[in-house]
Structure 1
Amino acid sequence: MNFKYFIFLFISWISFGQNNEFPTAKVDSIVKRIQLPVIPSYQINVLKLGAKGDSITNNKVVFDKAMALCKKNNGGTIIVPRGIYKINGPIHFVSNVNLKIEKGAKIKFSDKPEDYLPMVLTSWEGTMLYNYSPLIYAYECSNIAITGEGTIDGEGGKTWRSFKAKEGKGKDLSREMNHNNVPLSERKLGDGYFLRPQMIQFFKCKNILVENVRIENSPFWCLHLLKSESITVRGISYKSLNYNNDGIDPEYAKDVLIENVTFDNGDDNVAIKAGRDHEGRANFATPSENIVIRNCNFKGLHGVVIGSEMSAGVQNVFVENCKTVGYLKRGIYLKTNADRGGFIKNVFVRNIELNEVEDCLYITANYHGEGNGYQSEISNIYFSNITCNKATESGIVIQGFPDKKIRNISLRNIEIKEAKNAISNENAENVLMTDVFIGKRASVPTSAK
């Protein structure tokens, strides 16, 4: 080995070992610069506009009128009092608006796909295209909020659920368009392609607050933070168990705080993404970054996931003080493959309590064994102070490629009390383990008899 190269590696390893503490100051700086929305004093109660919370009447026109009045007054608060408000179609935000759903109130969307036409510009599993409107949709807005202690019901368990078995044609076409750089204006799917809309999507928005509401029964992803920044999500809860019901999906998102959330989802709780394949790599200047997740209760498929659509890169992710309150397949899951490219780096996870999972900590560069030619870079991943009662499969999995190794993984103060397989570590370098216990802790050696 070249002596200078050896010295460089040695110094890098020492630096890595010395800087694996959770960077609290960095987290504080991110949180400090996230701005809450500023909402003007104007208020309008939907009942005064003729809304009926009887679970039958279609209130679409009333909610559209309320949004128009807010726009006329440069913003304001739309108050939704106790009752069940049926809305046959989407709510489209304008800037400077708080949709306040009060305790005992429920917004219940229709499940007729034609109600969500005409199509809008959106994204579907990492590819930009035109599709059914998300049920709540904000495009190029600033200072927007959804607050209150009420419920948003996406009615996703019937018609939308049936789309899952029929989505293959649309999914495949979207990915072909991505790989072949088809102009965005020609990516029109919608009717006949069976790609379900997101429940809530903020697209190219800034200064966002989602607080205390309950999200139920989404058609697809629940809360999609797309190309948006300065976002606070706190105190919300879920019961959304349909196909692909991710809780929160930051995608090309920047400066995000997710805290005090109680998840109960049919898929990932938080899934950090950054575009798919060729299109994602072309957006390398806008990775998902500076994301803080703390004090959350996990229940669903996986706790915190990065990927698999992460081709523009994901960096500076901080997860702390979270625990499981029910089933999880995997606790922390980093997944990419050789179709993606991009990078995952500077991920810090600490103070996590997991009960029973299939796999506790899982990092793979070969998700589904797919693709070739675009291996991702995974580096600088720090896990500390993590407990798990039982892993029915693996405690810790790290899977790189022989010619593209995962680098700089720190595991400190990890205790997995029971695991079928303790550690699977392949094609990784600079894996530093300190106080890692899987299975029963060894005591002092027994004496000879």
Structure 2
Amino acid sequence: MKTSRRSLLKGLGIGMGSVGALSVTGCQVTSILNNATGGGSEWDQAIANIRRNTVEPTFKKQDFIITDFGAKNDKQFDSSQAIQAAINECAKQGGGRVVIPTGHFLTGPIHLESNINLHITENATLWFVTDPERYLPAVYTRWEGVELMGYSPLIYAYKKKNIAITGKGTLEGGGSNKAWWPWKGKWKRTDWVISDVENQKHTRDALFKMADEGVPVKDRVFDKNYLRPPFIQPYYCENVLIEDVTIKNSPFWLVNPVLCNSVTVRGIHCVSYGPNSDGCDPESCNNVVIDKCIFDTGDDCIAVKSGRNADGRRVNVPCENIVIDNCEMKEGHGGVVIGSEISGGVRNLYAQNCEMSSPHLKRGIRLKTNSIRGGLLENLYYRNIVIGQVSDAIVINFLYEEGDAGPFKPTVRNLNIDNLIVKQAKRAFVLRGYDHTPISGVTLNNVTFIKVKSDSIVEHVTDIELNNVKVNGQPYTL
């Protein structure tokens, strides 16, 4: 079926009134629109299959309002016990909604049970305390792709089924230049005194050493732990829904499902400019749909992961069957990213109908790994994406962090980019493979870079197919 120009503009996220902004190269845009295929029916069927297989939770129609259990709306009273009591009673009665009503409520970590929908109503805010001791005792968690016994995530669930966080209210994590974020140590936007003691480097190095040496997870415990917890982390869970909430000022990654099956993230708004403020990082999950979300973050907007180095290979679970659809990336280090904690591999990813643009956006579509991470990255599809302003538009980097220092050769197989418009970029491509393992298996169709300032970086690349790829109005070849 022939795609109309108007419908494709909508799919690309360009309103008809916005086309004038591209008028200096209108012929290029028209060419893309007239020749667009968007991957065709096979892509559509694959996406439909993933959506169908991603099961959303259902709940009994009964509400448990936290103020009925003693919570107080004053942002001073600690409502932790009241919230947990409401969750426990709701679970006891077969599940339903635990409701945060209008107001400002202070809480410590929240642990969900099966069949619980934590519902934050509009004009409600949950404020999380920033005292690290409140996030103990330690729980089974993952930090930068390595398992350990660490601080509880702010909202956590372990081996639960049918759970949700919904509502148009706000989750406030309390991350700031005075709380949580200084543990990062040196950072590009450092506005804090860097401590030699309260610094994640020491714990991070020790944890990675334990993982490399095969220390059991139950023994990966630290008396002095400076690894910041993620905001929302369901772990080994099934049928998870995170919908509509605004998530602000996270200590670390915002939404981080790990080893979960059937995860739907829909309509959330992520606003956090701290270090490692990734928006949504599914790790080693199967059947994930990220839909209609807005990311305004200090790090990657979406980063797909599957474990780091030896620990990722020990767990050996890929992240697979992922749909990213109709998302907006306002601010972030990277738009749609795979890696770097990717040792378990990624397959069957479909990203489409997204817009991203920022003077601070470093990379648009990015794969990052190395020969210590390794990872098989296959069946990756991107279509109908508009990038406004970016530094490097398309990045495949086998030399991230440690570079070529290990025996685990990364593999990219069957990566397809269709119908991509980049309005302004420093570089169109940064493609860095190895001489012994070049980048291959990549196809680009109908890709236009309207204004590019500098030459691309292309090292050790082979077997890349370019069809109707233009840079600054000229056909581009590698």
TM-score by length of 1: 0.91
Q: 1:292 is matched with which residue: 319, 323, 329?
A: 323
Secondary structure in 1 aligned to 2:46? helix
Q: Does 1:126 align with 2:158?
A: no
2:169 matched residue in structure 1: 150
2:8 matched residue in structure 1: none
Alignment check: 8 A CA contact 1:95 1:142 kept? yes
Alignment check: 8 A CA contact 1:20 1:410 kept? no
What's the CA shift for 1:343? 1.1
What's the CA shift for 1:325? 4.9
Alignment check: 8 A CA contact 2:254 2:270 kept? no
1:356 matched residue in structure 2: 389
2:422 matched residue in structure 1: 388
Distance in 2, Cα, partners of 1:414 & 1:112: 49
- Opposite residue 51 of structure 1, the aligned amino acid is A
Cα distance change on mapping 1:153 and 1:19 into 2, 3 Å: closer
Cα distance change on mapping 1:85 and 1:325 into 2, 3 Å: farther
Alignment check: 8 A CA contact 1:93 1:136 kept? yes
Q: Does 1:33 align with 2:48?
A: no
Distance in 1, Cα, partners of 2:201 & 2:294: 32
User: Superposed, which structure 2 residues align to 1:216-227 within 5 Å?
Assistant: 216-227=248-259
Alignment check: 8 A CA contact 2:357 2:390 kept? no
Distance in 1, Cα, partners of 2:364 & 2:48: 24
Distance in 1, Cα, partners of 2:280 & 2:474: 37
Distance in 1, Cα, partners of 2:225 & 2:68: 39
1:379 matched residue in structure 2: 413
Distance in 1, Cα, partners of 2:402 & 2:469: 29
Task: After superposition, give the CA deviation of every residue in 1:161-213 in whole Å (9 maximum; x if it has no partner).
Answer: 12111011101011101111111121012x52200001110000010111100
1:229 matched residue in structure 2: 261
Alignment check: 8 A CA contact 1:42 1:73 kept? no
- Opposite residue 132 of structure 1, the aligned amino acid is Y
2:353 matched residue in structure 1: 321
What's the CA shift for 1:133? 0.4
- Opposite residue 335 of structure 2, the aligned amino acid is G
1:207 matched residue in structure 2: 239
What's the CA shift for 1:99? 0.5
Structure 1 unmatched ranges of 5 or more: 1-17, 443-449
Alignment check: 8 A CA contact 1:422 1:438 kept? no
Distance in 2, Cα, partners of 1:342 & 1:281: 9
Distance in 2, Cα, partners of 1:423 & 1:294: 28
Q: 1:67 is matched with which residue: 84, 87, 112?
A: 87
Runs (4+) of structure 1 moved beyond 6 Å? none
Distance in 1, Cα, partners of 2:230 & 2:38: 39
Structure 2 unmatched ranges of 5 or more: 1-36, 186-198
- Opposite residue 117 of structure 1, the aligned amino acid is L
Q: Does 1:397 align with 2:397?
A: no
Distance in 2, Cα, partners of 1:137 & 1:367: 30
Alignment check: 8 A CA contact 1:100 1:147 kept? yes
Distance in 1, Cα, partners of 2:315 & 2:376: 13
User: Superposed, which structure 2 residues align to 1:50-449 within 5 Å?
Assistant: 50-87=70-107, 89-157=108-176, 158-165=178-185, 166-189=199-222, 191-284=223-316, 286-299=317-330, 300-327=332-359, 328-370=361-403, 371-392=405-426, 394-441=427-474
1:10 matched residue in structure 2: none
Alignment check: 8 A CA contact 2:428 2:471 kept? yes
TM-score by length of 2: 0.86
Alignment check: 8 A CA contact 2:357 2:389 kept? no
Task: After superposition, give the CA deviation of every residue in 1:59-98 in whole Å (9 maximum; x if it has no partner).
Answer: 01100100110121121111111101011x2100000000
Secondary structure in 2 aligned to 1:402? coil
What's the CA shift for 1:262? 0.7
- Opposite residue 306 of structure 2, the aligned amino acid is A
Secondary structure in 2 aligned to 1:315? strand
- Opposite residue 397 of structure 1, the aligned amino acid is V
**Residues 335-344 or 397-406, more deviating:** 397-406
What's the CA shift for 1:19? 12
**Residues 265-274 or 73-82, more deviating:** 73-82
Distance in 1, Cα, partners of 2:431 & 2:324: 22
What's the CA shift for 1:20? 6.4
What's the CA shift for 1:238? 1.5
Alignment check: 8 A CA contact 2:38 2:418 kept? no
Distance in 1, Cα, partners of 2:430 & 2:413: 15
What's the CA shift for 1:413? 0.7
Task: After superposition, give the CA deviation of every residue in 1:7-29 in whole Å (9 maximum; x if it has no partner).
Answer: xxxxxxxxxxx996561111110
What's the CA shift for 1:369? 4.5
Distance in 1, Cα, partners of 2:314 & 2:245: 36
What's the CA shift for 1:219? 0.3
Greater fraction strand: 1
Alignment check: 8 A CA contact 1:379 1:406 kept? no
Cα distance change on mapping 1:411 and 1:226 into 2, 3 Å: same
Distance in 1, Cα, partners of 2:402 & 2:315: 24
Task: After superposition, give the CA deviation of every residue in 1:266-318 in whole Å (9 maximum; x if it has no partner).
Answer: 1001100000111112233x210001001000121110110000001111110
RMSD: 1.5
- Opposite residue 376 of structure 1, the aligned amino acid is P
Secondary structure in 2 aligned to 1:250? coil
1:445 matched residue in structure 2: none
Alignment check: 8 A CA contact 1:281 1:341 kept? no
